[in-house]
């Protein structure tokens, strides 16, 4: 079945109009040259070797299936290379204290710079990185920062030099598949619709196909890219893998990917809360290494939390747990086997039990939501901790709603009303900023 899944993605990986459009836009700013003849799959020569590609030629390329991915057949002036990656990492370490702190706690803060300088990436990968740098600069910067975090984790966990190398390669290339996604879907502030989320969920597979078919690209790195959105409890994608079935490099990359996003959008205390609350979702040794590296304190908070917002979130979570008490019986009645672990809804019972466990572990009494806020008032550190907890719970709820959507084919035939009711309760009060942290 997985082979069929990959074969369906193969065509998309080789002829994405969104990627060709990005290359075309770059071609108006710098020379993009065909270093070999470019043919359609039907044998039509579309571009001759040595030609500078024009907007008209790029438009023609979007209308044909090509014999190979475009990256394999073109080159650009001023391309990204290993030296540029190392220089970018050095700039980040010099100007961003969070990353300098993590690197310092590894005992060898320059190791990641030297590691990037030593990468030997295939020319098609460097071409794609060049397009990413020019047309998706936020994704490029995210990739370099994720590589810094991933390498620091690898140092902390004393991975072999070969594993560190493969992890760096995977980190730099892990979002190649996103270049085949409509940029409007990924734009900041865009609330991804359910139908659009399928395009997001497929990007690890698209990236894997691109890299697996790239001569000279290391297979362990390609596999790390494929599985970097899997989660220890089976709630990830594309295959819902669990625990040790997920390759080690993917587990490290998963933590680094999420950590970079949280650091960029929030602060270190929020990241610390996230990793503590997600012990079941992320590799426990990697989470421990990350906490050692960031060593978050209340002084790292970006802003003082808002009490009104905290109360709104507390009430929302309380209402959800109360609603689940009613909806659970509807779900149990809809399941044929007595043992719910054998049903298509097994994941739902497991996730809700986990969410309830997080709430109770935090000392939150759903029947007395206001009392928790009363305790935190007047204590900035405690209020900060509470707000981080609530934001993370909001995200866990939204992520469960997305997982229900991903698993909808397996739930076909089950009563839709209780499912719709639960999804309604899962929607956070303030979810726009969390919607992209997938």
> Higher model confidence: residue 372 or residue 258?
258
Of 239-243, 372-376, 384-388, 396-400, the poorest mean pLDDT is in 372-376
Same domain membership, residue 132 and residue 24: no
Note the pLDDT of residue 381: 64
- Residue 434 is assigned to a structural domain of this protein: no
> What is the rounded average pLDDT of the residues 287-291?
94
The answer on pLDDT for 430 being more than 60 is no
Residue-range definition of the domain harbouring residue 125: 82-299
Domain boundary among 266, 299, 332: 299
Same domain membership, residue 292 and residue 222: yes
Same domain membership, residue 275 and residue 241: yes
Note the pLDDT of residue 127: 96
> Higher model confidence: residue 133 or residue 56?
133
- Residue 435 is assigned to a structural domain of this protein: no
> What is the rounded average pLDDT of the residues 42-71?
90
> What is the rounded average pLDDT of the residues 357-377?
67
- Residue 438 is assigned to a structural domain of this protein: no
Same domain membership, residue 351 and residue 394: yes
Note the pLDDT of residue 406: 83
Same domain membership, residue 183 and residue 111: yes
- Residue 135 is assigned to a structural domain of this protein: yes
Q: What is the mean pLDDT of the chain?
A: 84
Structure tokens at 383: 């209020």
Same domain membership, residue 123 and residue 70: no
Other CB atoms within a 10 A radius of the CB of residue 138 amount to 11
Q: Whose structure tokens read 């019972």?
A: 349
> What is the rounded average pLDDT of the residues 331-353?
74
- Residue 345 is assigned to a structural domain of this protein: yes
CA-nearest of 161, 159, 156, 129 to 142 is: 129
The answer on pLDDT for 6 being more than 70 is no
Same domain membership, residue 86 and residue 71: no
The predicted-structure confidence for 77-116, as pLDDT tens digits, reads as follows: 899 999 999 999 999 999 999 999 999 999 999 999 999 9
The answer on pLDDT for 14 being more than 80 is no
Note the pLDDT of residue 344: 80
The answer on pLDDT for 293 being more than 60 is yes
Residue 348 to residue 397: CA distance in whole angstroms: 11
Same domain membership, residue 286 and residue 143: yes
- Residue 198 is assigned to a structural domain of this protein: yes
Q: Spell out where 229-347 has E strands.
A: none
Of 219-223, 286-290, 324-328, 379-383, the poorest mean pLDDT is in 379-383
Same domain membership, residue 246 and residue 128: yes
Show the 3-state SS of 350-405: HHHHHHHHHHHHCCCCHHHHHHHHHHHCCCHHHHHHHHHHHHHHHHHHHHHHHHHH
- Residue 432 is assigned to a structural domain of this protein: no
Q: Whose structure tokens read 């493969």?
A: 166
> Total domain count for the chain?
3
The answer on pLDDT for 362 being more than 60 is yes
Residue 381 to residue 404: CA distance in whole angstroms: 35
Same domain membership, residue 320 and residue 250: no
Q: Residue 253 belongs to a domain with what CATH number?
A: 1.10.3210.10
Give the confidence band of 416 by pLDDT, cuts at 50, 70, 90: confident
Note the pLDDT of residue 149: 98
Q: Is 52 in a helix, a strand, or coil? A: strand
Domain boundary among 299, 323, 341: 299
Give the confidence band of 118 by pLDDT, cuts at 50, 70, 90: very high
Q: State what percent of residues in the chain have pLDDT above 90.
A: 46
Give the confidence band of 383 by pLDDT, cuts at 50, 70, 90: low
Same domain membership, residue 139 and residue 181: yes
- Residue 100 is assigned to a structural domain of this protein: yes
Same domain membership, residue 119 and residue 259: yes
The predicted-structure confidence for 27-53, as pLDDT tens digits, reads as follows: 999 999 999 999 999 999 999 999 999
CB proximity list for 418: less than 8 A, separation 6 or greater: 327, 330, 331, 334
Domain boundary among 280, 299, 318: 299
């Amino acid at each position: 079945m997985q082979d069929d899944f990959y074969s369906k993605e193969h065509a998309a990986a080789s002829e994405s109009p969104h990627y060709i459009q990005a290359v075309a836009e770059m071609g108006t700013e710098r020379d993009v040259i065909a270093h070999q003849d470019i043919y359609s799959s039907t044998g039509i020569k579309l571009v001759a070797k040595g030609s500078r590609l024009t907007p008209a030629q790029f438009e023609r390329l979007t209308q044909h299936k090509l014999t190979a991915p475009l990256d394999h057949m073109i080159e650009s002036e001023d391309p990204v290379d290993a030296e540029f990656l190392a220089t970018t990492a050095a700039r980040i370490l010099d100007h961003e204290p969070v990353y300098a702190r993590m690197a310092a706690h590894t005992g060898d803060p320059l190791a990641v710079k030297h590691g990037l300088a030593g990468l030997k990436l295939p020319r098609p990968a460097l071409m794609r990185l060049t397009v990413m740098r020019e047309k998706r600069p936020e994704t490029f910067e995210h990739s370099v920062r994720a590589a810094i975090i991933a390498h620091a984790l690898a140092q902390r966990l004393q991975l072999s030099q070969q594993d560190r190398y493969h992890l760096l390669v995977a980190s730099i290339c892990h979002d190649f598949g996103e270049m085949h996604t409509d940029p409007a879907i990924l734009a900041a502030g865009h609330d991804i619709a359910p139908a659009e989320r399928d395009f997001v969920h497929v990007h690890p597979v698209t990236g894997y196909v691109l890299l697996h078919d790239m001569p000279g690209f290391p297979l362990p790195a390609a596999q790390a890219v494929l599985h970097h959105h899997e989660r220890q409890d089976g709630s990830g994608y594309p295959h819902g893998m669990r625990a040790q079935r997920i390759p080690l490099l993917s587990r490290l990359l998963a933590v680094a990917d999420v950590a970079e996003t949280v650091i960029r959008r929030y602060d270190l205390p929020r990241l610390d809360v996230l990793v503590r609350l997600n012990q079941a979702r992320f590799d426990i040794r990697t989470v421990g290494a990350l906490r050692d590296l960031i060593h978050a304190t209340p002084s790292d908070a970006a802003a003082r939390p808002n009490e009104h917002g905290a109360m709104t979130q507390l009430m929302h979570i309380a209402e959800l747990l109360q609603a689940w008490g009613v909806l659970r019986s509807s779900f149990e009645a809809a399941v044929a086997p007595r043992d719910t672990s054998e049903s298509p809804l097994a994941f739902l019972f497991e996730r809700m039990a986990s969410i309830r466990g997080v709430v109770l572990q935090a000392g939150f009494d759903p029947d007395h939501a206001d009392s928790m806020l009363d305790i935190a008032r007047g204590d900035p550190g405690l209020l900060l901790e509470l707000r981080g907890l609530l934001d993370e719970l909001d995200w866990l709820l939204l992520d469960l709603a997305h997982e229900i959507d991903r698993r909808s084919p397996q739930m076909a035939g089950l009563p839709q009303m209780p499912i719709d009711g639960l999804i309604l309760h899962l929607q956070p009060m303030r979810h726009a900023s969390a919607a992209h942290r997938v």
